Amino acid sequence: MQQRGLVQEMKKTGIIGAMEEEVNQLKNIMEGVSSRKKAGMEFLEGTLEGRPCVVVRSGIGKVNGAVCTQILIDDYSVDLVVNTGVAGSLKAEINIGDMVISSDALQHDVDATGFGYDFGVIPRMETSVFQTEESLTALAVKVCKEVNPDIGVFPGRVVSGDQFISGREKKIWITEHFHGLCTEMEGGAIAQAAHLNNTPFLIIRAISDKADDSAHMDYGAFEAKAIEHTVKLVKALITAL
C-alpha cells in the first residue's frame, strides 16, 4: 500500500494538545475558524494547510485526553486523532529535542495485579496495547525527517500515566515493565478512546526532558524548541495526508 492510501479517504483531523503553548501556533495559522466550548475545552474548527481540522487543548492528564477524544469523534466526526505534546525520554539514545512517533501506546499506571493481571493490563479488555496503523507511523516518520532534519525521530511505544516522571527509580521501573520510548500523561488514554471508536490515532511527542532527576531542570528550557519541531511536523503531515 502506498503511504497516501491509508489516509486518502480521511476527511477531518482532530489535533489535541495538552497545553495552550502546544496549540497556539496551530490556531494562529488556521483559516475559517469557528469556536465552540464543551467540557471546559475550546474546540476550533477550520482548515489547516487546506485540510479540515479541529484543534483543541485537552488539558493535562488521561481523563482530559479521553474526554476530548470522544467529543472530537462524536461532535465533529473526525476520522483521525493526532495528539501532540512533549514527553520524557526512556532511552539513552533519545535525546532532548528528538521526536517519538507512536507505533503503539499503553498506560503504565493501570494496576490490577491484585486480580492476577500484569501491570498495565486493563481487565476485561481484549487488548491494553493500542496500535497506531503502521503506514500512518511510517508517513509521520518520513515527514518528520524531511522538516526536522536537525533532530532524531524514533517510532515506537508511548507509555502514559497520570504522573510526571522525574525520578530515576520510577523511570527504570517503567522501562523494565513496558519497554517504551517515552513517557507522558495523555497519549495512552487518547489511544484507548480512539481504539474503542475504531478511529485511527497518532501520538507525536517531542522530548523535553530525560524523565529522571534532571527533569525539573530541563523541562522549561527545552519546551519551546520541542513545540517548534512539533508544529513543523503537524503542518507538513496535514499536507501529506
What is the torsion angle, in degrees rounded to the nearest 10, for the CA atoms of residue 189, residue 134, residue 143 and residue 8?
A: -100
Q: Are strands 41-48 and 51-57 parallel, antiparallel or unpaired?
A: antiparallel
Q: Are 55 and 48 in contact (CB under 8 A)?
A: yes
Q: Which residue among 98, 186, 209, 212 is the active-site one?
A: 209
- Helix 20-29 vs helix 215-240: crossing angle, to nearest 10: 30
3-state secondary structure of 2: coil
In terms of phi and psi (left: phi > 0; alpha: psi -120 to 50; beta: otherwise), the region of 113 is: alpha
Q: Which residue among 22, 45, 186, 218 is the active-site one?
A: 22
Q: Distance (Å, rounded) from C-alpha 227 to C-alpha 219?
A: 12
Catalytic residue status for 74: no
Catalytic residue status for 184: no
- At residue 138, φ and ψ (nearest 5 deg) are -65, -40
Give the rounded distance of the alpha carbon of 229 from its chain centre. Answer: 14
DSSP per residue over 27-40, as a string?
HHH-EEEEEEEETT
Task: List the catalytic residues.
Answer: 22, 209
